[in-house]
Structure 1
């Protein structure tokens, strides 16, 4: 047994926020109370620290199979626990694409060797061809928690409609990357002055919100659950807000990078700030924050996308888009949302624990007696510089060297300490 003493326990699901002790017995929480006594338990002094449910990231790329020079399931799991995450959902853009039951089962077998909960979605279309649907029923029965062609927008509205109809019959979640390629000159940089300075045409904001508008209305018509990934523009927030008011079963996520830095980071930091969708403008960040405040944006997810140093050390136009994010996500939320007063600590954690758990129906994201012993201890006030080296296999982050608030001290999954910050 493990006894965590004197922690500030914050549980967004029950709205608990108080100083107390928590006793772990095996994989479950046995007791939450003041001054628990338990002979023989390993005692962890959490004075001055926050104890929260293990973070949940519904959008990661662990690159296995096919691109293990960038990341593996094992190194991705190491990165996750260093950031306080105990559950992650992997995207389907592996090589080969996660389109078959056999590949899904192979991935799950590898994931079971790790000390956190690693789930995966399957692709919407076979090998991301944008036309032929995968066997949703067979893939769901084999363990796929949802469906996504993330990285490849579904340009064919008829295909999306059929996918949503299939998903509704199974009560499955479909997650969509919203960027119409027909409205983009070059990926990764916001269209406008910054893109012009870089000699690129850029990615327009209308490429996102026009496709989102189409898709949420198809979701409304079919009654299916649709999740809009990495929302980045102010009009997109308005579109999502309207669809929710209409009664569509839609949800939205935002990444820490999109609410933390603007397109100007590309000029200062180069390829590590090249993302799909791109970083936008100050007015977009303000709208994203408003969307988090009023619940239009339900989830904070990292879109953890590792690339090698060599892949990023090229001209901007040739570099792949994406950045790692698991190890800086909580810190960016504390720095750019909680510290300025945009969100309470409770609300930030809600977007990173109970809300993402609810999205997929996971038994996770909460602290309660009898519940899973997945949690993290962190110091919300500590200031730490983002290091050059990460627990991830990759280091493609635009935040290296920045001083951020917060420090993860310990991550516990299934009642076992899976990460301990020795600093």
Structure 2
């Protein structure tokens, strides 16, 4: 049996506005998108999307599912349910699990778990170096064969420039990207927050902007030398934006991502030593926030990702100095950006949707990301009218670590379909 999604508001890029459309799904594929409401829907399941936004399913190219090894924080089952509730239909998971994803067997474990226990599409990255220790490259060819879509030592930067250059050469030969966590370890040891006003006020060591930008600059030069597709993780500083902009202007194959929290929050917003405000990269200055917004708007930064990073309440209770870095992202990403940028008139709805659907699909060569006949029926339906407060007790993630508690937002996903199957609905 197929599905008709009726009366949905679909963004029309050409017209720059939403239009009422009706979408027919057959055997997991979008068969038709039409302004003409069908006279007969016999034999079809009908979803009435009146007054709702209907979009291609959101794509998140930077997430942490924690399994294997950290199942008390999240599992592939709980993480994909959290993603579906946030409207995400495709997610790419980072390899800094325990064991790390550095062998064909661990790639296979993630894919098998995603197939049997997950409810959205899961694309695994594999490590650049064995055990993420920066000493020896993994077997890139075998990892690609097993299903890895790119290589990253996310969570730590690759400190050795020759190691990174060798990795880029190898990845380029396999036509896969290097995804870089940019951080010079010598500048960040023991620092829990940005080097700025909050650190000074509380007597904390700070993480300076140059710790990120030094690696961005180094890697851009290496990418130019090797021809690899180089993708910069979670950009957070004005200097990084400036370097990426220059690299794109001279034709180096570099792409980049930014998280909602680095577009919405600065160190000035941190209210206390509450570790729910501790993340890596840390919240930076207002100048950095504005640079990231401008970078996304002018195309220097390509896409929005969540860096969904669950941790248990017990871990986050250790305080700003000792707690692990990271906040949740799936279930608040779209409402945050819709409320703070689209409803305020700073962005069009189409601009936001593109950076959560079509652009990440194009950057990483995915077939997803479009609401068009012939595409997989990965579809997100969003209530853009109802306002509600962020309440971690309603999250489907196993964790609760968010700084956005109590924020009143609009733009909440209400139904998510993957390959034409409803995987989550209110």
Shorter chain as normaliser: what TM range?
over 0.9
Give the aligned partner of residue 387 of structure 1. Answer: 391
Shift of residue 13, structure 1, vs aligned partner: 11
Following superposition of structure 1 onto structure 2, how do residues 45-194 of structure 1 map, counting pairs within 5 Å?
Answer: 45-113=48-116, 114-194=118-198
2:416 pairs with 405, 411, 420, which one?
A: 411
Which residue number corresponds to residue 307 of structure 1? 311
- State how far apart, in whole Å, the 2-side matches of 1:386 and 1:69 are: 23
> 1-side partners of 2:236 and 2:386: how far apart?
29
How far residue 340 of structure 1 moved from its aligned partner, in angstroms, is 2.5
Partners of 1:335 and 1:163 in 2: CA distance: 40
CA distance in structure 2 between the aligned counterparts of 1:263 and 1:341, rounded to whole angstroms: 25
CA contact (8 A) 1:381 1:406 kept: yes
Q: Give the CA RMSD over aligned residues.
A: 1.6
Give the match for residue 22 of structure 2.
Answer: 21
Distance 2:254 2:179 in 1: 10
Given that residues 187 and 276 in structure 1 are in contact (C-alpha distance below 8 angstroms), is that contact kept between their aligned partners in structure 2? no
**Structure 2, unpaired ranges of 5+:** none
Q: Does 1:250 align with 2:251?
A: no
Structure 1: any 5+ residue segments left out of the alignment?
A: none
Distance 1:14 1:165 in 2: 43
- Indicate if the aligned counterparts of 1:59 and 1:303 stay in contact, CA closer than 8 A: yes
Q: Secondary structure at the match of 2:193?
A: coil
Match of 2:360 among 356, 359, 382: 356
Q: In the superposition, relative to structure 1, how do residues 205 and 384 fare at CA in structure 2: closer, same or farther (>3 Å)? A: same
Q: Which moved more, 1:263-272 or 1:324-333?
A: 263-272
Deviations 1:137-171 (A, max 9, x none): 11001100111100010111111100000011011
8 Å Cα contact 2:192-2:204 kept in structure 1: no
1:17 Cα deviation from its structure 2 partner: 4.5
Q: Contact conserved, 1:384 with 1:406, CA < 8 A, in 2?
A: no
Once the two structures are superposed, what CA deviation does each residue of 1:4-44 show, in whole Å capped at 9, x if it has no partner? Answer: 11111137699895211001112001111121243221221
Alpha-carbon contact 1:189-1:266 (below 8 Å) kept: no
Q: Distance in 1 between matches of 2:38 and 2:241?
A: 45
Which whole-Å CA distance do the structure 2 matches of 1:248 and 1:188 have between them? 33
- Cα drift, residue 269 of structure 1: 6.5
User: Is 1:240 the counterpart of 2:244 in the alignment?
Assistant: yes
The answer to whether the 8 A contact 2:197-2:268 is kept is no
TM (normalized to structure 1)?
0.96
Q: After TM superposition, give the deviation of residue 129 of structure 1 in Å.
A: 1.2
Partner in structure 1 of residue 401 of structure 2: 396
Return closer, same or farther for 1:94/1:15 CA change in 2, 3 Å cut-off.
Answer: farther
Q: Distance in 2 between matches of 1:306 and 1:229?
A: 18
Are the counterparts in 1 of residues 273 and 319 from structure 2 also a CA contact under 8 Å? Answer: no
Deviation at 1:201, TM superposition (A): 1.1
Query: Which range moved further: 38-47 or 214-223?
Result: 38-47
Query: Match for residue 365 of structure 1?
Result: 369
Q: Check whether the contact 1:388–1:401 (CA below 8 A) recurs between aligned residues.
A: no
Aligned length: 421
Answer yes or no: is the 8 Å Cα contact 1:13–1:354 preserved in 2: no
Between 1:258-267 and 1:179-188, the stretch displaced more is: 179-188
Q: Provide the rounded CA distance (Å) in 1 between the counterparts of 2:339 and 2:127.
A: 34
Partner SS for 1:407:
strand
More deviation, 263-272/138-147 = 263-272
Q: Give the match for residue 230 of structure 2.
A: 226
| Contact in 1 for aligned 2:390/2:408 (Cα 8 Å) | yes
Contact conserved, 1:13 with 1:350, CA < 8 A, in 2? Answer: no
Measured after TM superposition, the shift of residue 234 of structure 1 is: 1.1
Deviates more, 1:198-207 or 1:90-99: 198-207
Q: SS at the partner of 1:112?
A: helix
Deviation of residue 131 (structure 1)? 2.0
Between the aligned partners of 1:361 and 1:13, the Cα distance in structure 2 is 23
Q: 1:326 and 2:327 equivalent?
A: no
Q: CA deviation at 1:369?
A: 0.9
Corresponding residue SS for 1:147: coil
Instruction: State how far apart, in whole Å, the 1-side matches of 2:332 and 2:113 are.
Output: 25
List per-residue Cα deviations over 1:195-214 (Å, max 9, x = no partner): 12222111001111121111
Counterpart pick for 2:217 among 210, 213, 217: 213
SS of equivalent residue, structure 1 residue 334: helix
